[in-house]
Amino acid sequence: MQNLHFSQLIFAQAKKYGDKVALSYRENATEQWSDLTWNKFADQVLAVAKALVELGVVEQHRIAQFSQNKTENLIVDFAAFATRATVVPMYATSTAPQVEYIVNDAKIEIILVGNQQQYNIALEVLQNSQFLKKIIVFDKKVVFKEAAHTMYYHDMVALGEKSTRHFEVEQRQSEATETDLACILYTSGTTGNPKGVMLPHECFNEAMRINSLRLTSLTDKDTSIAFLPLSHVFERTWCYLCLFKGAQIYINAFPTEIQQTIKDVRPTLMCGVPRFWEKVYIGVNENISKFSPFKQGLVTWAIATGKQYNLDCLRIGKKPSALLSLKYAIADKLVFSTLKQKIGIENANMLPTAGAKLSDEISNFFRCIGVPIVYGYGLTESTATVSCYEYTNYEIGTVGSIMPDVDVKIGDDNEIMLKGKTIFPGYYNNPEANKEAFTEDGWFKTGDAGVIRNGKIILTERIKDLFKTSNGKYIAPQEIETRLGLDKYIEQVAVIGDERNYVTALISPSKPAIEEYAKKNKIAFENVSELLQNPLINDLIKERIAELQKGMASYELIKRFTLIPKSFTIETGELTNTLKIRRAVVMSKYKLQIDEMYNI
């Protein structure tokens, strides 16, 4: 379809699709799915747009959203676009200081929140901020602590339905431009305050165009699950693409519900991060390890057949032989189809995956069994996708082919640099960051190192994460952390070694797996903390690390490690909202344990 300005998109799709379902949602995992048709979607967008005008929102006014994934998020987005306002999404797990920083930096007057905790945080910010004036609450069960500055979302909708300001909304739509600021997405950096990435409509429009050119199998027959936070550029841009193509979106509100949601929906599309597929992979291998020798042999044969069929033939555009096709059909019937049905992905058209390193082992495995993981690379600053797997000729070990009309080159220190219509114009209210981020001739410096081979990008390391030992050796911690994260006994890893004479690690073990191992090997323990002090558990993890680091350089090997009973979390500050390790926080919080590993 022709690219429409997002201020018009939902209304145009309503005319095209009418009572076809656009969005599906439920309040929690135990309830039935409810549907929102395109017609009702457009009606609510118009009502909220008129309400925003009634509440005094003017062109390019910034409106914040602070909630779990909800259908209301997308309604508010497109209502804001219809009034030429700017959306500022926040992660549902943000703390009061994080919310306050964004509110003050973007001078936000209206914030829409989800649950009681988010309302309480917003109210605390409102009482301290010179900018925030109004809190609008999605959940009708939230109890207001004061009413003067607060209203429920359903009252906002009612206000819009009664309003006669539709002519003003139409006027704003007619005046909307490509350079209007659609969103400001604050990156959850591993150091310092977040930076507001400005994404005008022209960035999103170009993203719709180039993704449509690349992902030709995505149609209005598809169903997608919004699993990642809509505050993340990956899920946000993907959902916009699904709406642009007319696909149905199921809103998954809470990450803990995703396994049930996948089985309920059995989607054709779903964005994911590598850690999700790592956990699926670990679970699958754990189940296979319990099979009889005969069944394990059958699985090994099936995967080998899948490799010949999917990677050695289809991947390079070669037609499989009749015999290989027959063998693959048998492998699929006996092994692959059962496995995919158990997960809920038997209908998958494509499963985009990005946000961190995905191991080649996992890419190979899922592609062999016919799961269409589409691994890619992108940033908030590039409106998501810079590169991704194509349908054929993709290469395991790369992050795919460069997207159409995105310019990529390799700069100093092998840094990946970008130009193009999807690249953001700059950080909001941050001239110093802008000066650092762009070269004089306009190339954006990603901070990621890599090489380009045959039009495909190979990532090597995150430049800012790279550290050097006191022996002068450079270490890419993410490579080590990704390897170790594939083990069923290891949940999280933080690699240490900057300006030290050898590499160490803080490891949060998978507690269920460790406890199961202890019971199986008759290791007595009163609690997890005691168990992690047991030399037998220490030996187990040591053996697992040695196995997982085979083939790595001697200076990259973990010489000592400490098992920690508590996982790194967003709430305690060790992780960003996109689950990246804040190394400075970890180094500070676990200084004693780290120093002990170096006998300081």
Residues 6+ apart with CB under 8 A from 550: none
What pLDDT sits at residue 130? Answer: 95
Q: Could you give the angle at the alpha carbon of 383 between the alpha carbons of 377 and 389, nearest 5°?
A: 30
Strand partners, 407: 419
Report the run of H or E that residue 451 belongs to, with start and end: strand 444-453
What residue has token string 């699709």?
17
Task: Give the Cα separation of 158 and 140 in Å (integer).
Answer: 14
Q: Where are the domains of the chain?
A: 6-176, 467-597
Fold of the domain spanning 6-176: Rossmann fold (3.40.50)
What pLDDT sits at residue 191? Answer: 58
Task: Give the Cα separation of 23 and 8 in Å (integer).
Answer: 18
Residue 42 CB coordination number (10 Å): 23
Report the run of H or E that residue 562 belongs to, with start and end: strand 558-563
Can you state the angle between helices 322-331 and 293-306, rounded to 10 degrees? 140
What pLDDT sits at residue 129? Answer: 94
Task: Give the Cα separation of 212 and 403 in Å (integer).
Answer: 11
- Contacts of 289-294 with C-beta under 8 Å, sequence gap 24+, read none
**Token pair listed for 132:** 């925030």
Check if 6-176 and 467-597 are the same fold: no
What pLDDT sits at residue 275? Answer: 87
**Token pair listed for 471:** 């022996």
Task: Give the Cα separation of 387 and 423 in Å (integer).
Answer: 13
Can you tell me whether residue 163 is helix, strand or coil? coil
| H helix intervals, 137-273 | 153-162, 166-175, 201-214, 233-245, 258-265
Residues 6+ apart with CB under 8 A from 520: none
Q: Could you give the angle at the alpha carbon of 41 between the alpha carbons of 136 and 421, nearest 5°?
A: 85
Cβ atoms of residues 453 and 414 within 8 Å: no
pLDDT per residue over 24-71, tens digit each?
999 776 688 999 999 999 999 999 999 999 999 999 999 999 999 999
pLDDT per residue over 547-573, tens digit each?
999 988 888 999 999 999 999 988 888
The span from the first CA to the last CA of the chain, in angstroms, equals 64
How many residues are listed for the chain in this entry? 600
Longest dimension (CA), the chain: 74
Spans of the chain, pLDDT less than 70: 1-2, 29-30, 189-192, 600
pLDDT per residue over 397-418, tens digit each?
999 999 999 999 999 989 999 9
- Is the pTM value of this prediction over 0.85? yes
> Concatenated DSSP letters for 473-521?
-EE-HHHHHHHHTTSTTEEEEEEE-TTSSSEEEEEEE-HHHHHHHHHHT
Do strands 384-388 and 373-379 pair parallel, antiparallel, or not at all (unpaired)? antiparallel
Strand partners, 136: 112, 151
Residue 591 CB coordination number (10 Å): 11
Task: Give the Cα separation of 588 and 492 in Å (integer).
Answer: 17
| H helix intervals, 290-336 | 293-306, 322-331
Task: Give the Cα separation of 220 and 187 in Å (integer).
Answer: 31
CATH number of 467-597: 3.30.300.30
> Concatenated DSSP letters for 231-252?
TSHHHHHHHHHHHHHT-EEEE-
| Cα-only R_g, the chain | 25
- Contacts of 516-524 with C-beta under 8 Å, sequence gap 24+, read 517/489
